[in-house]
């Protein structure tokens, strides 16, 4: 199970898993509640999502958490990246906000997106640095940054 309610993320995971004969179902499709992401790191939030989904469905669950950690903005938006996109998940609006703040500070570089993965209920954690041009194309906060014309990663 993929611990997500995001149809785009689920489609991406299904595309990655299909060549291996693995079919994925999402927490959203199973009607599971989204847990509150109260962790202070991407790693902690990925663990919260994976463990909550695994316990609720009694299935192994894969989760991730990702976002931008912009040095010029003192690490913001960080773990709050999705919240910067608002209720409507308008990542272009969030990128415009980052661009404006960078311009106010005279900076032009947002930095690479960061991501943590967790497979629950396992206790080991895998970290994978996200890089522009590698991995699947996904319209998430990190990739929105890569696609935003004025911010280079």
CATH of the domain at 126: 3.90.950.10
pLDDT level of residue 83 (50, 70, 90 thresholds)? confident
Q: How far apart are CA 28 and CA 103, in angstroms?
A: 38
Is 153 a member of any domain?
A: no
Is 90 exceeded by the pLDDT of residue 77?
A: yes
Q: Average pLDDT, whole number, for the chain? A: 80
Is 2 a member of any domain?
A: no
Of 33, 26, 31, 30, residue with least CA distance to 2: 26
Confirm whether 74 is a catalytic residue: no
Is 66 a member of any domain?
A: yes
Q: Say if pTM beats, i.e. exceeds, 0.75.
A: no
Could you count the other beta carbons within 10 Å of the beta carbon of residue 84? 19
Is 80 exceeded by the pLDDT of residue 18?
A: yes
Is 85 a member of any domain?
A: yes
* Torsion sign, CA atoms 97, 4, 139, 43: positive
pLDDT number for residue 51: 94
Annotated catalytic residue within 64, 65, 71, 74: 65
pLDDT number for residue 82: 84
Angle in degrees, CA 86, 24, 46, rounded to 5: 45
Q: Is 147 exposed, middle or buried (0-12, 13-18, 19+ CB in 10 A)?
A: middle
Is 14 a member of any domain?
A: yes
Domain enclosing residue 52, as ranges: 7-147
pLDDT tens per residue, range 116-152: 888 876 554 444 444 444 444 433 444 333 333 333 3
Token reading at 31: 């009607």
Is 50 exceeded by the pLDDT of residue 23?
A: yes
Lowest mean pLDDT among 14-18, 49-53, 108-112, 118-122: 118-122
Is 143 a member of any domain?
A: yes
Number of domains making up the chain? 1
């Amino acid at each position: 199970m993929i611990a997500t309610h995001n149809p785009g993320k689920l489609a991406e995971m299904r595309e990655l898993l299909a060549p291996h004969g693995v079919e994925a179902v999402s927490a959203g499709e199973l009607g599971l509640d989204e847990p509150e992401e109260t962790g202070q790191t991407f790693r902690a939030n990925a663990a919260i999502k994976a463990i909550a989904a695994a316990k609720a469905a009694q299935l192994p669950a894969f989760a991730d958490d990702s976002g931008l950690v912009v040095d010029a903005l003192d690490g913001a938006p960080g773990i709050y990246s999705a919240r910067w996109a608002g209720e409507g998940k308008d990542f272009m609006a969030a990128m415009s906000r980052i661009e404006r703040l960078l311009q106010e500070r005279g900076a032009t570089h947002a930095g690479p997106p960061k991501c943590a993965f967790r497979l629950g209920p396992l206790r080991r954690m895998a970290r994978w640095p996200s890089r522009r041009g590698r991995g699947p194309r996904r319209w998430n906060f990190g990739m929105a940054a890569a696609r935003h014309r004025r911010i280079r990663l």
